[in-house]
Amino acid sequence: MAINWIESEVIEHIRWTDSLSSIKLKGNVLPYTAGQFTKLGLKINNEFISRPYSYVSSPDDDYLEIIYVTVPNGTLTPALHDLKVGDKLHIMEKASGFFVMSEVPDGKNLWMLATGTGLGVFISLLKTPEPWDRFKKIILVHGVRTKNELSYQEQIRKFETDHPGKIKYIQTITREKDMDCLNVRIPQGLETKEIQERAGIEITLDSQIMICGNPDMINDTVALLEKSGLKRNRRSKPGNITLEKYW
Ligand code: NAP
């Protein structure tokens, strides 16, 4: 189906690091569901280039937000990186995707495992009441290379304040040491149970696990979880593991 593109305008450009940024936009898109993705498009050298990005914003926000990594020698992201407040870009009018809470079966605790920009979609989901209403505890695990890539700290503090005792936030950094964080890739941290120990919660057959980010991390994590008897969640056959690969 042809994409209907509409014009949007940059209202804020957040620089987390030299290569990790978030863009806030205003644009008259159709209503979307937290967890869905959109596409952003720009005309570059007379060619229209577009890429998908999950919404970090949630339906009640009065702005649209995405997070992206500037890929050196990439086509779109260096141009996105240069955008300033007031600049215009195209956005897909109707969001898409199934990484939404209505696709996640009920369970006791909800694990949200993210690497890099994969955190963004969980920020969107956690801004809505559904994960908080449906699960006893939420364990948000974010794996990044370096500490300065731990984005959305203020928003996560707000989740902790708004839902006391309900969320465990675990940071893991793989390319530098930090006392406050784990220093392990997510699949290894689950295998050695460092992550579960830090959470004080085990992954059990009544857990639900959502995973988003680096595809190799997702593959390794799914393989590990499947060894413990957890199953991929499919529409035809509900399970425990719901995933979204980013590239
Ligand atoms: P990343 O390389 O995905 O690393 C983020 C975290 O994931 C790091 O802690 C990393 O650990 C870990 N990780 C990497 N491979 C893993 C694996 N096989 N199993 C488990 N954990 C793994 O970094 P990023 O900053 O999010 O993204 C970096 C690059 O990914 C970008 O420069 C870009 O090329 C690409 N990217 C593409 C898109 C896209 O849509 N095309 C979107 C985002 C990113 P280590 O430090 O040990 O590697």
pLDDT at res. 55: 98
Cα dihedral angle (146, 152, 155, 161), rounded to 10 degrees? 0
Task: Tell me the three state secondary structure of residue 117.
Answer: helix
pTM, to two decimals: 0.96
Give mean pLDDT, residues 33-38. 98
Ligand 1 geometric centre to CA of 215 (Å): 8
145 lines ligand 1 (CB under 6 A): yes
Judge whether 203 and 111 are in contact, CB under 8 Å: yes
Tell me how far apart the alpha carbons of residues 234 and 113 are, in angstroms, rounded to a whole number: 18
Task: Read off the pLDDT of residues 84-128 as tens digits, 9 standing for 90 and up.
Answer: 999 999 999 999 999 999 999 999 999 999 999 999 999 999 999
For residue 48 and ligand 1, the question of a CB distance below 6 A is answered with: no
Is the CB of 185 inside a 6 Å radius of any atom of ligand 1?
yes
pLDDT at 1: 75
Q: Is the pLDDT of residue 245 over 90?
A: no
216 CB within 6 A, ligand 1: yes
Could you tell me what percent of the chain has a pLDDT over 70? 100
User: What's the CA-to-centroid distance between 246 and ligand 1, angstroms?
Assistant: 10
Ligand 1 atom closest to the Cα of residue 188 is: 20
Q: Is residue 186 a contact partner of residue 173, using CB atoms and an 8 Å limit?
A: no
For residue 112, the model assigns a pLDDT of 98
pLDDT digits (tens, 9 = 90+) for 141-193: 999 999 999 999 999 999 999 999 999 999 999 999 998 999 999 999 999 99
Nearest-CA residue for atom 26 of ligand 1? 116
